[in-house]
Structure 1
Amino acid sequence: MKKLDVFTFGETMILFQPVQMLPLEYIHDYPRKIGGAESNVAIGLARLGHSVKWFSKLGDDPFGHYIKKTIRGEGVDTSSCIFTPQAPTGLFFKEQLSPEDLNIYYYRKGSAASLIEPKELDEESIASAKVLHISGITPALSMTNYQTVLRAIDIAKKNNTMIVFDPNFRSKLWSEEKAKKVLNEIAENADVLLPGLAEGQLMTGETEVEAVARKLLGNTNKIIILKLGSQGAYLHTKEEKFFVEAFSLKQIVDPVGAGDGFAAGIISGILRKEPMYQVIRRANAIGAMVVGVKGDIEGLPTSSAVEHFMGQLGNEQDVKR
């Protein structure tokens, strides 16, 4: 079987995002889009030229079929996906009152994706992949989803598949106490960790950037990359540690999805075996490009678009070691 670059799985929902910046109670038209952390990463990687397979369980309804067709149309392998008549495809709405003032309303409880079970995983694809990407959203959806994540990790470790983990903490899905336990359990088995600073603080109990990264690293060979928003990102490994500044932005259109674009950039750079400074710098650029466009996937760039963006703004950037 041909070696797959990346395998990822999780819930993708229908996104209704109004064009107007108004409270939802005054909105009458809702353009239909899609959004989901893992499929965002999958699409981001496909646009960067990688072979990616995404798995989920979708409602056997018009929304579920639309999601699969859309993701497949982006060049992602969706052949492992399952449809079920037992539960609907999840939905969510974005309410944007200003570029920075955003509220998200989820309608995902009991959704089709929450019914994913370990036995439904495409074990052959995980075993053949160079990277398994996991989000902390999936284990929060249900006990069977949590068990599926553990099973995927087990398959990956037995086959030397690199595990990249983005904690992606969602307070609406579970308590901080439960999240801390599960996120740390997954992190212990991961090779690359991509937490935001707040997520790192939750997982470690530390507050300062370097202390958070140091505790996440422990006595391991992991790659820790802390996302610091407008400040950029911080790398911490046994061999090196440094900050990479963010790209300055003139305008933020939609802040959701930047972390997924960043994750796609990190995985792409690691697969290309680039120096870590270059990897993080490109990931920062992709995150900056994503927030400049409305929607979760619409701003994810191609490789040539990233290079053009970096060429325009690259002289402003520097690394602090």
Structure 2
Amino acid sequence: MNKNIVAYGEIMMRLEVPDNLLLRQAENLKYSFTGTGVNITGLLAQFGYNSSLISAVPDNSIGSSAIGAIRRLGIHSDLIIKNNDNLGMYFLEKGFGNRPSNVTYTNRQHSSFNTTDISKYDLIQSLKGVDILHICGITLAMNQLTRDNIMKLVKAAKEKNIKVVFDCNFRASLWGENGNQRAKPFYETILSQADIVIMSEKDAIQTLGLSTNHQTKEGQLEELLPIVAQKFNINKIAGTIRTVQDSTHNTIKGYLYSNENMYYSKIYDVNILDRIGTGDAYTCGIIHGELSSMAPQDIVSFSTASCVLAHTISGDTPLFDTDDIIKIINNEKNDIER
């Protein structure tokens, strides 16, 4: 494919409580390395793209382990530096039935990534030959340093005509009190530079301050996304409509606004093995569709199938290729493939 994707994002340690236990019940934890940037570049590497991560890890054995883990996913580690001595972590308690999954973050503000100035990276080398730069709203929420880093990185990318993909990924718990108001100016700055945006109706209403009288999500999206696209000159806006039945059963429908038209996928009934990282799988589908010059309807169908398939993979980073996604689109169901 000879296309190059770079994501700017934190590598974190995921500490999972086994067997659907609560953290207070567990005597051991399963760890792995993850993060939005890892998920994006990891899955796109499975698709056959050259993918790299701009990040920082501790200058110790934990940092070396993190770099080794992302290399095993096929992600190039040339742009990862060792700086300071902390790694962000999160503890995952998987839900069951009516009990939702629970994520508890620790040490993020003091992590190597969130305390490393963008000047530590060689941006000219980091962005050389890059086709897509991925930015996540979670990183935007961390602190003023990471916000400044993103602004400088996006500015450098646009000067090189690199397409910017921005996933709004608003997290109220990270922005704190009056989070939507605090986030709005930063979101508007990034949106004005972004080519492809992952956005929900809540992002448009709560963060950007838009309003709608429509009651259905489809109606809200069809009114609000054209306004956002026109105001910020965005090429594509996409996302998913998720209906939660319980912690292991959802329905999912993808949408894509492109060239003043709205496109939807069919509705999928989803049984959930692992929920985290599935939105990133959807984003990867959008990026692949863009780089492959797919028609809009094909992009949203492919992206939604990618999201659906990710629910069946244990761990944050989905591990499948484009042929596996095509099987989901074609509704192929096999007992055992031999």
Query: C-alpha offsets along residues 266-287 of structure 1, whole Å, 9 cap, x if unaligned?
Result: 1011111111211111111111
In the TM superposition, residue 89 of structure 1 has moved relative to its aligned partner by: 0.8
8 Å CA contact 1:197, 1:227 repeated in 2: no
Shift of 1:313: 5.3
Contact between 2:254 and 2:303, CA under 8 Å: does it hold in 1? no
1:300 aligned residue? 319
Q: What percentage of aligned pairs have identical amino acids? A: 22
Note the 1:1-321 alignment, pairs <5 A: 4-84=3-83, 86-98=84-96, 101-107=100-106, 108-121=108-121, 122-174=123-175, 175-204=179-208, 205-207=210-212, 208-219=220-231, 220-229=233-242, 230-249=251-270, 251-297=271-317, 299-312=318-331
Any stretches of 5+ residues in structure 1 without a counterpart?
315-321
2:131 aligned counterpart, secondary structure: strand
Residue 246 of structure 2 is matched in structure 1 by none
CA distance in 1, matches of 2:103, 2:305: 25
The letter of the residue matching 2:321 is T
Counterpart residue number, 1:319: none
Contact 1:221 1:238 (C-alpha < 8 Å) held by counterparts:
no
Q: Per the alignment, do residues 238 and 308 of structure 1 end up closer, same or farther by CA in structure 2, a change over 3 Å counting? A: closer
Find the aligned partners of 1:112 and 1:29 in 2 and give their Cα distance.
26
Give the whole-Å Cα distance in 2 for the aligned partners of 1:294 and 1:74.
Answer: 14
Alpha-carbon distance in structure 1 between the residues aligned to 2:255 and 2:3 = 29
Decide whether the 8 Å contact of 2:166 with 2:198 is kept in 1. Answer: yes
Residue equivalent to 1:318: none
Letter of the 1:87 partner, please give it. Answer: D
CA RMSD of aligned residues (A): 2.0
One-letter identity of the residue aligned with 1:302: D
Q: Given the superposition, is the C-alpha separation of residues 246 and 155 from structure 1 closer, same or farther in structure 2, using an over 3 Å criterion?
A: farther
Q: Alignment partner of 2:255: what SS?
A: strand
Q: TM-score, normalised by structure 2?
A: 0.86
Whether the 8 Å CA contact 2:118–2:149 is kept in 1: the answer is yes
CA separation in 2, counterparts of 1:157 and 1:190?
Answer: 9
Contact 2:18–2:26, Cα closer than 8 Å, also in 1: no
**SS of corresponding position for 1:256:** coil
Q: Secondary structure at the match of 2:75?
A: coil
Name which of structure 1's ranges 100-109 and 153-162 shifts more when overlaid on structure 2.
100-109
One-letter code aligned to 1:187? L
Aligned to 2:215: none
Report the more deviating stretch, 215-224 or 17-26.
Answer: 215-224
Q: Which runs of 4+ in 1 moved over 3 A?
A: none
The Cα offsets for residues 100-157 of structure 1, whole Å up to 9 and x where unpaired, read as 6111000122111101212133333324211111111112222221111111111111
How many residue pairs end up in the alignment? 310
